[in-house]
Every structure is written in structure tokens, then in C-alpha cells.
Amino acid sequence: MILFSTKERHQDKKESRYRDTRRTAEKMRLAYIGLGSNLGARMQYLDRAVQSLQKLRGIENLRCSSVYETEPVGHTRQPEFLNAVVEVRTQFEPMQLLQALQTIESSLGRERAEHWGPRTIDLDILAVQGVVRHDGKGLQLPHPQIANRRFVLVPWAELEPDFIVPGLDQKVGQLLEKCRDPSDVRRYMTAQAWGEQMQKEIM
Ligand code: ADP
Ligand code: MG
């Protein structure tokens, strides 16, 4: 048995506290979330989704891209989308993050009717730092469609062009340069104006 003097014990406690904070910091991973809305008050759905994300305990340092108005891809006979990308640092495991996003989707009236159809809010995990998982069904990371979607890559590259997407091992900016998706993606509201708008709403 090792006996510590009071001073040593105090020192030891301090160190273990320091180790704990370091461990938490190491567990915080960068994650990118794609937001989309093409039903009803689209801008309000984006605002409320970001505000809900910001309130989650396992999420910090949230940063938003500008908002873009985009042509629908897939089922093209539906209203135009507003899309944006959000960067967070999170200690959630990827499945926990997905569940948190799905809870926010339901709270904002998302009904899972038609795949790729109109929706009040869609929250997809685009990528999580250091994570690649493509095990059949369920959560796929990075999101399998990102390289083909300008409505994802344009806002993402605005936010962080140098992020290297795990599994694809390319930077977001490189993926955008190579992307063949011809659909229209126009800036709708700058990141700054959006941030100010959300700030006003919570005051
Ligand atoms: P989509 O986003 O493709 O239009 P949905 O939002 O309805 O369609 O998602 C369908 C399913 O995709 C969800 O039940 C979810 O489990 C799964 N999924 C797989 N990978 C991801 C991911 N990276 N982000 C979000 N959902 C994902
Ligand atoms: Mg989705």
C-alpha cells in the first residue's frame, strides 16, 4: 500500500482532475451537420434546429455557414430548399448524435413520409472526425451522398474547405471542385446575418 502525505494527496487529486479534463477534451470530436428545409417557414425551421442543437449538453463551439437556396435533387417537382451546414464539437458517440438529430427533427414536425420528398427539416450527419462506418443499413459515415451534392459541399466549403473527410481522404474544397452536380445553389442569407437574426430571436 502507498501512503501519501496530505500535500501529495492534494497534488494527486489536482493531477487526476487535470487528466479528466484532458480526457474530455480528447473525446470532443469535430462533426458536420447538414440542414435542409423545403416546407412552410423554411428559415424558421433552420433557426429552431440550430437553437435546439446549441442547447444540447454534448455539443459545443457551434459554427454556421451561410444559408443557401437550392434546387431540389432527386424528386425535382417539389419546392426549393434552404440548406446550410453547421460545425460542432461533440462528445456524443455518432449514434447518440443521430438520435439527438432525429429528436430535433420530430420536435419540428418532421414526418418521415417520402424518401427524398419535401420536409420541414432534415438533419444529416455529413461526417465525424476520425469515424468511418458503412456497415450496411443504419448510420453511414461519412454520409454516402456528400460528394454528389452541391447543396452540401458549397456551404461546407464556405465553413471549412480544408477539413479532410475521413474515408474519402479529400478536403471538402477538393470534393466541391470535382463535384459534377449541375444544380443551382445561391446564397440566401450570409452567415453573419443569420447569426444576428438568431441572436435577436433568443433575446
Ligand atoms: P434522407 O436524409 O436521405 O433524405 P432521411 O432523413 O429520411 O432521408 O433518413 C433516412 C435514414 O438515413 C435515417 O433513418 C438514418 O438512420 C439514415 N442515415 C444513415 N446515415 C445517416 C447520416 N450520416 N446522417 C443521417 N441519417 C443517416
Ligand atoms: Mg436525413
Per DSSP, the residues of 2-70 read -PPPHHHHHHHHHHHHHHHHHHHHHH-EEEEEEEEE-SSSHHHHHHHHHHHHHH-TTEEEEEE--EEEE
Task: Determine whether 119 is an active site residue.
Answer: yes
pLDDT band at 78 (very low <50, low <70, confident <90, very high): confident
From the CA of 137, give the closest atom in ligand 1: 19
H-run or E-run covering 158:
helix 150-159
From the CA of 125, give the closest atom in ligand 1: 24
Give 185's strand partners.
70
What is the end-to-end Cα distance of the chain in Å, rounded? Answer: 57
Of the residues 42, 48, 110, 150, which is catalytic?
A: 110
Confidence at residue 187, expressed as pLDDT on a 0 to 100 scale: 98
Task: Determine whether 110 is an active site residue.
Answer: yes
Confidence at residue 33, expressed as pLDDT on a 0 to 100 scale: 98
Q: Check pLDDT > 80 for residue 83.
A: yes
Task: Determine whether 124 is an active site residue.
Answer: yes
pLDDT band at 137 (very low <50, low <70, confident <90, very high): confident
Confidence at residue 17, expressed as pLDDT on a 0 to 100 scale: 53
Q: Which three cell numbers stand for residue 3?
A: 501512503
Contact between 53 and 63 (Cβ < 8 Å): no
As a residue count, the chain comes to: 203
Encoded amino acid at 165, one letter: V
**CATH architecture observed for domain 28-202:** 2-Layer Sandwich (3.30)
Residue that the C-alpha cell 418532421 belongs to: 110
Look at residues 36, 113, 143, 33 and name the one whose alpha carbon lies nearest to residue 80.
36
How much distance in Å is there from the Cα of 182 to the middle of ligand 2?
21
Q: Is 83 exposed, middle or buried (0-12, 13-18, 19+ CB in 10 A)?
A: buried
Give the number of other CB atoms < 10 A from CB of residue 64.
Answer: 22
- Tell whether the torsion through CA atoms of 136, 155, 52 and 42 is positive or negative: negative
Task: Determine whether 162 is an active site residue.
Answer: no
Q: Name the residue of 139, 143, 148, 151 to mutate for ligand 1: max ligand atoms within 8 A of Cβ.
A: 139
Whether the bond between 166 and the residue before it is cis, its omega within 30 degrees of 0, is no
Domain boundaries of the chain, sorted by first residue = 28-202
Of 44-53, 74-83, 112-121, 130-139, least confident by mean pLDDT is 112-121
Confidence at residue 12, expressed as pLDDT on a 0 to 100 scale: 55
Q: Give the tens place of pLDDT for each residue, 118-136.
A: 678 999 999 999 999 997 7
Look at residues 152, 50, 31 and name the one whose alpha carbon lies nearest to residue 97.
31
Residue 125 Cβ < 6 Å to ligand 1? yes
